[in-house]
Amino acid sequence: MTTRKGLTLVLAGVLSLGALAAPHRFASLDPKPQSDDPEGWWMKRFREKQQQACKTGGDVVFIGDSIVHGWEGRGRVQWERYFAGAPYNALNLGFGADRTEHVLWRLENGGLDGFKAKVVVLMIGTNNTGHHPFSECPPSDTIAGVKAIVDLIREKQPQARIILHPIFPRGEGPSDENRKRNETVNREIVRIADGRHVIWCDFNDQLLNADGTLSREVMPDLLHPGALGYEVWANALLPVLKDALASAPEEPVAGRFAAHPRLMPVEPGTSAACRPATRFDAVGSRGPWWWLKRLVEKRSQIAASGGEFDLVMFGDSITHFWEYDHFSCGLEVYRKLCARYKVLNIGYGGDTTANLLWRGENGELDGYKAKCVMLMIGTNNRTSPEDTAEGIRRIIDLIARKQPQAKVILSPIFPRGRPDDKRRAENEKVNAIIKGFADGDRVTWLDFNARFLNQDGTFKPDMMVKDLLHPYKGGYEVWLEAMLPRLEEICGK
Domain count across the chain: 2
Identify whether residues 312 and 207 lie together within a single domain: no
pLDDT score of 13: 32
* Residue 224 bears catalytic tag: yes
Q: Clarify whether residues 355 and 442 are in a common domain.
A: yes
Mean pLDDT to the nearest integer, 469-492: 95
Q: DSSP states of 200-213 as a string?
A: EB--GGGGB-TTS-
Is position 28 annotated as part of the catalytic site? no
Q: How confident is the model at residue 462 (pLDDT cuts 50, 70, 90)?
A: confident
Same domain, 439 and 353: yes
Catalytic residue of the set 175, 211, 221, 285: 221
CATH code for position 122: 3.40.50.1110
For residues 73 and 192, membership in a common domain is answered with yes
Amino acid symbol at 493 = K
Catalytic-role residue among 102, 224, 320, 470 = 224
113 is catalytic: no
Model confidence at 9, pLDDT cuts 50, 70, 90, reads: very low
Which residues are CB-neighbours of 138 under 8 A, at least 6 positions away?
181, 362, 363, 366
Q: Do 297 and 10 touch, CB atoms closer than 8 A?
A: yes
Q: Residues 400-446: pLDDT tens digits?
A: 999 999 999 999 999 999 999 999 999 999 999 999 999 999 999 99
Confidence of residue 493 (pLDDT cuts 50, 70, 90): confident
Same domain, 242 and 280: no
- Tens-digit pLDDT profile for residues 83-109: 999 999 999 999 999 999 999 999 999
In a domain, 6, yes or no: no
pLDDT in tens, 347-406: 999 999 999 999 999 999 999 999 999 999 999 999 999 999 999 999 999 999 999 999
Alpha-carbon separation of residue 285 from 13, 288, 321, 349 (angstroms): 13, 8, 14, 11
Give me the domain span that covers residue 229: 31-246
- How much is the mean pLDDT over the chain? 92
Report yes or no: 272 and 353 within 8 Å, Cβ to Cβ.
no
Its pTM stands at 0.92
Q: Tell me what the mean pLDDT of segment 224-252 comes to.
A: 96
In a domain, 262, yes or no: no
Confidence at residue 1, expressed as pLDDT on a 0 to 100 scale? 31
Residues 6+ apart with CB under 8 A from 362: 138, 139, 140, 184, 276
Buried b (16+ CB within 10 A) or exposed e, 216-242: eebbeebbbbbbbbbbbbbebbeebbe
Query: Is the same domain home to 218 and 294?
Result: no
User: pLDDT higher for 322 or 269?
Assistant: 322
User: Percentage of residues in the chain with pLDDT exceeding 90?
Assistant: 86
Choosing from 16, 66, 305, 328, the catalytic residue is 66
pLDDT of residue 285: 66
Same domain, 149 and 50: yes
Q: How distant, in Å, are the alpha carbons of 97, 182, 195, 205, 368 from that of 172?
A: 20, 14, 32, 14, 32
